[in-house]
């Protein structure tokens, strides 16, 4: 196997592990996870469309199973999976180049789209504990705030580490060039 494939496997494994652990770690604010950031980064980094969908689905399945086995939390429904997939086109459209503004806008957009669509599904399915449309969204504001903060913090961290490491590789690459 060539080094690029091994590198991609390692990066995918790290991203999946990070997102799963951030989701199941105890005593953290609800929805303050690396999920959105990992979805944004994996869409930016991996050009293969299959992998762009495979990583988020793997993360959700693994973390859902862990949450069920460890805490008895029900597995997320297909609607939540679909709402999370909105991060993929957000990243594809907004993050062509790693810049703070692009990454921040994508994090804000992803969290906002997830908030809007997932809470609409909760309300439409009558799962908002009998709450009306506005009340369903109002109750979810704290989850949105935490998801937004998590997306921004984790995105800045993940994309920042990527940019720093890429810059470091460029700086040291002159040592390995043949004259």
pLDDT value for 171: 72
Asked if 90 contacts 102 with a C-beta cutoff of 8 angstroms, the reply is: no
* pTM as predicted: 0.90
Asked if 98 contacts 52 with a C-beta cutoff of 8 angstroms, the reply is: no
Rounded distance between C-alpha atoms, residue 33 and residue 150, angstroms? 5
Token pair in block for residue 21: 């652990």
Q: 95 φ, ψ to 5°?
A: -115, 80
Rounded distance between C-alpha atoms, residue 115 and residue 170, angstroms? 39
Q: Give pLDDT tens digits along the chain (179 positions).
A: 788 889 999 999 999 999 999 999 988 999 999 999 999 999 999 999 999 999 999 999 999 999 999 999 999 989 999 999 999 999 999 999 999 999 999 999 999 999 999 999 989 888 667 788 999 999 999 999 999 999 999 999 999 999 999 888 777 765 555 54
pLDDT value for 6: 92
Maximum CA extent, the chain: 73
Q: Which residues contact 142 (CB under 8 A, 6 or more apart)?
A: 30
């Amino acid at each position: 196997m060539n080094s690029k494939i091994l590198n991609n496997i390692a990066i995918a494994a790290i991203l999946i592990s990070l997102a799963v652990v951030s989701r199941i770690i105890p005593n953290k604010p609800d929805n303050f996870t690396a999920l959105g950031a990992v979805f944004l980064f994996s869409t930016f980094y991996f050009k293969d469309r299959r992998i762009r969908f495979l990583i988020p689905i793997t993360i959700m399945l693994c973390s859902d199973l862990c949450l069920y086995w460890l805490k008895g939390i029900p597995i997320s429904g297909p609607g939540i999976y679909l709402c999370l997939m909105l991060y993929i086109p957000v990243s594809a459209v907004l993050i062509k180049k790693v810049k703070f503004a692009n990454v921040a806008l994508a994090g804000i957009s992803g969290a906002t789209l997830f908030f809007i669509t997932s809470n609409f599904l909760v309300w439409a399915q009558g799962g908002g504990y009998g709450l009306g449309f506005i009340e369903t969204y109002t109750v979810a504001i704290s989850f949105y705030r935490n998801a937004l903060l998590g997306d921004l913090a984790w995105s800045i961290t993940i994309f920042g580490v990527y940019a720093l490491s890429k810059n470091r590789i460029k700086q040291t690459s002159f040592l390995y060039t043949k004259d």
